[in-house]
Amino acid sequence: MSRAQAVTKAVITAAGRGTRLFPATLALQKEMIPLVDRDGICKPTLQMVVEEALEAGIEQVCIVVQPGAELALRSYFRELEAEELVVYADQPTALAQAQALARIEKALSYALQPTQEGYGHAVYCAREFVGNQPFLLLLGDHLYLENEGQPRCARQVLEVFARWGCPVSGVARTPASELHRFGTLAGEPLEGRPGVWEVRALHEKPTPEYAREHLRSPGLPEDTYLTFFGVHVCTPDLFACLEEMMAEEQRERGEFQLTTAQERLRAQRRYLAVEVRGQRLDMGVPEGLVETQLALALRSPYAEGLRAALQEATAESCA
C-alpha cells in the first residue's frame, strides 16, 4: 500500500454567532472565552484547539471566521511588542506564553464566511487555503481530551489516515437519547483493527427511530450508535461534494450540512471512522462550558484542591 500524503494543514471553524452563550458573546467571540487549561494556564478556547492541531504535527492552520472577527483574533495571536512585555519581565510563565502566541501566529491564516449558511458552507470557505491537499478539520468551540497514555485525539485520527489514505472521521459511542446533538454513522468493523470502522451510511442528527432502522452498527449495545467526535481528516474531493450541494440548494434545517457532503463522498470512495480514545467537550452551550472547565481542571495542577472543594460542597448540600 502506498504511503498517504502527509497532512500538514488544518481548518478550524469559528464563525458561529454564539447565541447559546448570550450575553457573554456580546463582549467576545465564544471561541475566545477563556478557560483554565490542563497545564494551569488561562487561555481562550480557540488557542487550545489550535494547539491540539499543532501538537499533532500540523504546520498551517486556517480559522474560518465571520465578518469583523478576524481583527480581534489577529490582535490576540501575535508577537507582543517589547513595551508590552515589560510588565511580565519577572514572570517566566507569562513570557513563555507570549512566545507561544508568537509561534502560533506564524502558522495561522484566516478565511471569511460572509453569511451564516451552516457548517458545510463554513468548511467550503476554506477551499482556497486547502488547495489539493488532505486536511484536518476541527471545531473552534470543541475541546478534545485524550485518555491517559494515549496520543492527542487529533493524532489518533491522523494515524488512521496515514495508514489508509482515505477520509476518516473520529467517532464516539453515544446513546440514542443524544443523537439530536451529533452527526451519526453506521459502520462495519474493520477486520483486525479494533475501533476502526468501514462507514456505510452517514446522517445528520437523526431521530432515534431513524437510527434504529438505518444506522445500527454490529457489535454495539442496543440503542448505542457511532457519532462524530468533532475531528475529521478530509480529502480535497469533499469540496466538490459541497459545491454540488450548494448548486442544488440541498439544505437541511435551512443550512448546508457537512454530514450530507460526507455522505455524498462516502458513496464515491472508501470512508473510515475510528473510535477516539478520549473525551469530546462542547463549550458552546452553558452546560457544556461548565463541563469543559471541570474536565480541564481535573487534569490540571489544581485538581487535588478542586476535588476536595467538590467533596465539601457535596457534603454540605446533602446535610
Residue 319: pLDDT band by 50, 70, 90 thresholds? Answer: low
Q: Quick check: is 1 in a domain?
A: no
For residue 213, the Cα-to-chain-centroid distance in whole angstroms is 28
Q: What is the predicted pLDDT for the residue at 3?
A: 67
Residue 47, domain member (yes or no): yes
Distance CA 82, CA 97 (A): 14
Mean pLDDT value of segment 201-207: 96
DSSP state of 182: S
Tell whether 2 is covered by a domain: no
In-domain check, residue 319: no
Residue 23 in domain: yes
Helix (H, G, I), strand (E, B) or coil at 22: coil
pLDDT-based confidence at residue 253 (cuts at 50, 70, 90)? confident
Does the pLDDT of residue 96 top 90, yes or no?
yes
pLDDT, position 1: 44
Give the pLDDT confidence of 258-308 residue by residue, as tens digits: 999 999 999 999 999 999 999 999 999 999 999 999 999 999 999 999 999
> Is residue 285 included in any domain, yes or no?
yes
Q: Alpha-carbon distance 13 to 102, whole Å?
A: 21
CATH number, domain containing residue 49: 3.90.550.10
Q: Retrieve residue 163's grid coordinates.
A: 495508514
> The domain containing residue 161 runs over which residues?
9-314
E runs forming strands in 180-260: 183-189, 196-204, 224-234
Name the average pLDDT for the chain: 95
Residues 101, 79 contacting (CB under 8 angstroms): yes
| pLDDT of 251 higher than 70 | yes
pTM for the model: 0.95
Q: Taking a C-beta distance cutoff of 8 angstroms, is the pair 234, 135 a contact?
A: yes
Q: Is residue 214 part of a domain?
A: yes
How many independent structural domains does the chain possess?
Answer: 1
42-59 average pLDDT score? 98
Query: How do beta strands 60-65 and 9-14 pair?
Result: parallel
Instruction: Tell whether 137 is covered by a domain.
Output: yes
